Amino acid sequence: MDEPAVARRALPLLDLTDLGEACSEAAIDTLCRDARASAVAAVCVWPHYVGRSARLLSGSPVRVATVINFPAGGDDVERAVEDTAEAIRDGAHEIDLVLPYRAFLAGDAATARAMVAAVREACDGDRLLKVILETGTLRSAEAIDAASRLAIAAGADFIKTSTGKSPVSATPEAAEAMLRAIRDRAGERIVGLKVSGGLRTVADAARYLDLADRIMGPAWVSPRTFRLGASSLHAALVEAARPSGAAR
């Protein structure tokens, strides 16, 4: 593995994330400073920090993402739409929506489909909708495939592996099932994959980049089609991308 090359490729694909319980205004200030310095794709923050993040990142290409229906993945469609509208008013460019995965697993695909479609409608303009499947709870390749196809059909711009709050987060097996569902719809519109949860090393980033290259082709990966959602991965990528001999 060529670590510097992987790191340089991965940094522009990063959704630099702070969804910790101890998140603070000072932490958001640091997050946005780091995001500007590294030219990542986006920051992903709690809804009440969207406005602050948008102000700090004004004039930069770094986008602001936030989470909706997170992390529980409830089935209140109206609340999800209201929270989405508020986040957009505060300056969010991207919405990471948790699919009502428990309802889906119980056989209630209609509620899951209705929530994605309703939030998609609320995401006007160039705002991206990423649908979190919580693949560690869905578990089987069949359930992950079915949830992927439902989310895509209902309007998702991205499908995302995990909240990072469940015992099992992203796995290569889940990402492969999701990429195959995306590939099957490739001629209809652009749909991306976001791998999130448990990514900490350059080798982790390389594993998922290699998987995307193998299934979708090496020209497919870009910030519009592929994201890595992480907090601890950022430092590893910055260190690996630093030219040899450069000061720390």
Q: Which of 15, 75, 130, 160 is catalytic?
A: 160
Q: Which of 75, 83, 157, 194 is catalytic?
A: 194
More confident residue, 185 or 235: 235
Residue 181 has pLDDT above 90, yes or no: yes
User: Comparing C-alpha atoms, which of 53, 12, 5, 6 is closest to residue 224?
Assistant: 12
User: Comparing C-alpha atoms, which of 135, 225, 213 is closest to residue 174?
Assistant: 135
> What distances in angstroms separate CA 212 from CA 206, 207, 232, one per listed residue?
10, 9, 22
Q: Which of 90, 96, 157, 204 is catalytic?
A: 96
Give residue 57's pLDDT band: very low, low, confident or very high (50, 70, 90).
Answer: very high
> For the chain, what percent of residues have pLDDT higher than 90?
92
Domains in the chain, CATH or no CATH each: 3-241 (3.20.20.70)
At residue 246, the pLDDT reads 64
**Average pLDDT score over residue span 240-248:** 73
pLDDT in tens, 68-86: 999 999 999 999 999 999 9
The residues with which 196 forms a beta bridge, in sequence order, are 229
> For the chain, what percent of residues have pLDDT higher than 70?
98
Rounded to whole angstroms, the Cα distance separating 218 from 39 reads: 22
At residue 49, the pLDDT reads 98
> What's the mean pLDDT when you consider all of the chain?
96
The reply to whether the predicted model has a pTM over 0.85 is yes
Contact 93, 63 (CB under 8 A): yes
96 included as an active-site residue: yes
Alpha carbon 95 to chain centroid, angstroms = 9
